[in-house]
Structure 1
Amino acid sequence: MQFFLANNFNIQKFYTLEEYRLATETLQKNKDGKLIILYTTDPVQQNSFVQAAKQKGYNVIKLETIVDAAFINNMEMKWNDVQFVRVDADITDNLIDKNENNESGLSKDEESKVKELFTVQIPELHVNVEVKGLSPDAAPVFATRPEFIRRMKDMAANGGMGSFYGSMPEEVTLTVNGNHPILQNILKEDKKEKQVNKVRNLVDLALLSQGLLKGNDLTNFINRSVDLMQGEKQGRIILPG
């Protein structure tokens, strides 16, 4: 059995299972000593998450076929000390939990305000919002889907779990980077409509990275982006809808 190592998509390198374990055990063990194998199912769609993982020195493998879901479950049952995690299942700092906590530059009141602003209602999505202290150079907002729920929905889509999980709404976590400078800009914005539009644009950008922005929401995002870039010279405000 071999892995395709997606450390560099321009260079194909293959490992046996044991070779890959040895190659990743130094950096990719969590606080409990479990080896975390990061993977991507779509290197193009998930590129921003792959690049963020690579910046931390993590390796990412490509598992993109239907049978790979069964392979993952089988290997996790065989290896109790190994867990597979899709690279976009969480923010990069949380993919491999090493019990490292970075402080947010926001006060408690500011964090509460930010969480309130980013708690938006989105049809067919169950949204959770959290504020984390990430690098100022990281994106201001990340949208991630919990690994377990996503796996169950994927299996349901392939006919393996009936209709229960398939009918559940998508669960998305919006992680707001409390150390990104744009947050202070938003908090200081005295025009409510402009503040709402900026927040919704950041939310939509994060959803777009997960392929979850479609239809009318996508159209509103495009119109809103144009207005924001033009400084609202046309006097048109596109409220979230």
Structure 2
Amino acid sequence: EEYLAQNNKADKKIYYVNDEKQQSQYIRMFKDNDMDAVILNTMIDSHFIGFMEAENKDVKFLRVDADIIDNMKDDQSKEEDNKGLQEKLEKIIKEATGKDKLKIKVEGLKSESTPAVILLSEESRRFKEMSRSFGGGINTADLFPEEETLVLNSNNTMVKRIAEIYEEDNRKEDAITVANHIYDLALLNQRQLEPDAMVKFIERSNSLLMRLL
């Protein structure tokens, strides 16, 4: 009740953090918008969350990487402009990452310095974690894939430039490279990259740095 009152949460959503280092970007976004998140970083906290939701049917716990709250969105961002930009960026991002099933959304965020964030469905993530705990060592990644959404910030200069240079002569590969890098940076703010992806990320980083010399 204290959290809901302090954060004026009429929708009864309680946002939490379970890894302060890994979720630092999301924490910063909350702080920049005068929002708080509770720290629930022990093994017993997952049971505590389930208990609290069972006891309070109208209360919902969401990890900070599960949603973009309205306070973080730019009220001046025009929906029709974002729609046109989304069509272009969806094509570019999917071509860059090779992930045809990746959900992509374009939002105008107040934090112009943030190009993109990854959101994970709270329900699918919890189900996967529960299955991993009781799966007897069985890999459940294919059985219970996490619902992942890439949110691109239409107020970020790099994001807008990707769509522009993709259409320019001899700049398509540059747009693909930057799009891939933005996606990996968003992933790194949410979790560790897979070994092969990390190797490619480092190689791409070195290549981009060499262009500055």
What TM bracket, shorter-length normalisation?
0.7 to 0.9
**Deviation at 1:128?**
0.8
- 1:23-62 correspondence to structure 2 within 5 Å: 23-29=3-9, 33-62=10-39
Larger relative contact order (Cα-Cα within 8 Å, sequence gap ≥ 6): 2
Cα deviation for residue 77 of structure 1 reads 1.1
Work out the CA distance in 2 between the residues paired with 1:63 and 1:229: 38
1:57-136 pair list within 5 angstroms: 57-93=34-70, 102-103=77-78, 106=81, 108-119=83-94, 120-122=97-99, 127-135=102-110
Separation in structure 2 between the aligned mates of residue 76 and residue 43 of structure 1, nearest angstrom: 23
Distance in 2 (CA, whole Å) between partners of 1:162 and 1:218 is 25
Q: 1:107 to 1:126 in 2, by over 3 A?
A: closer
What is the CA distance between 1:218 and its match in structure 2? 1.0
Asked whether the equivalents of residues 142 and 174 of structure 1 are also in contact (C-alpha less than 8 Å), the reply is yes
SS at match of 1:25: helix
Residue 192 of structure 1: aligned partner:
172
Cα distance, 1:155 vs structure 2: 1.0
Deviations 1:181-219 (A, max 9, x none): 112322222311111001000001011111152211111
TM-score, scaled to structure 1: 0.74
* Contact 1:104-1:179 within 8 A present in 2 as well: no
Structure 1 segments of 4+ aligned residues over 4 angstroms from their partners: 160-166
Q: What is the one-letter code of the residue matched to 1:48?
A: Q
Bigger Rg, which one: 1
1:18-66 C-alpha deviation (Å, 9 max, x unpaired): xxx134325241xxx3322111111111111112112222221111122
Ranges in structure 2 where 5+ consecutive residues have no aligned partner: none
% identity of equivalent residues? 30
Measured after TM superposition, the shift of residue 225 of structure 1 is: 1.3
The CA distance in 2 between the partners of 1:126 and 1:228, in whole Å, is 27
Is 2:121 the counterpart of 1:141? Answer: no
Query: What TM-score does the superposition give when structure 2 sets the normalisation length?
Result: 0.83
CA contact (8 A) 2:85 2:106 kept: no
Preserved contact between residue 121 and residue 146 of structure 2 (Cα < 8 Å): no
Residue 170 of structure 1 aligns to a residue whose secondary structure is coil
Q: CA deviation at 1:136?
A: 5.2
Aligned counterpart for 1:159 among listed residues 126, 134, 139: 134
User: Following the alignment from structure 2 to structure 1, what is the Cα–Cα distance between the partners of residues 104 and 114?
Assistant: 15
Alpha-carbon deviation of 1:153? 0.9
Q: Which moved more, 1:191-200 or 1:160-169?
A: 160-169
Whose helix proportion is higher, 1 or 2? 2
* SS of residue in 2 equivalent to 1:88: coil
* Higher share in strand: 1
Change beyond 3 A, Cα 1:156–1:108: closer
- Structure 1 segments unaligned to the other structure (5+ residues): 1-20, 234-241
Change in Cα spacing, 1:136 to 1:65, as seen in structure 2 (3 Å) is: closer
The whole-number CA distance in structure 2 between the counterparts of 1:192 and 1:105 is 25
For the aligned residues, what is the CA RMSD?
Answer: 2.9
Q: Contact conserved, 1:39 with 1:63, CA < 8 A, in 2?
A: yes
**SS of residue in 1 equivalent to 2:181:** helix
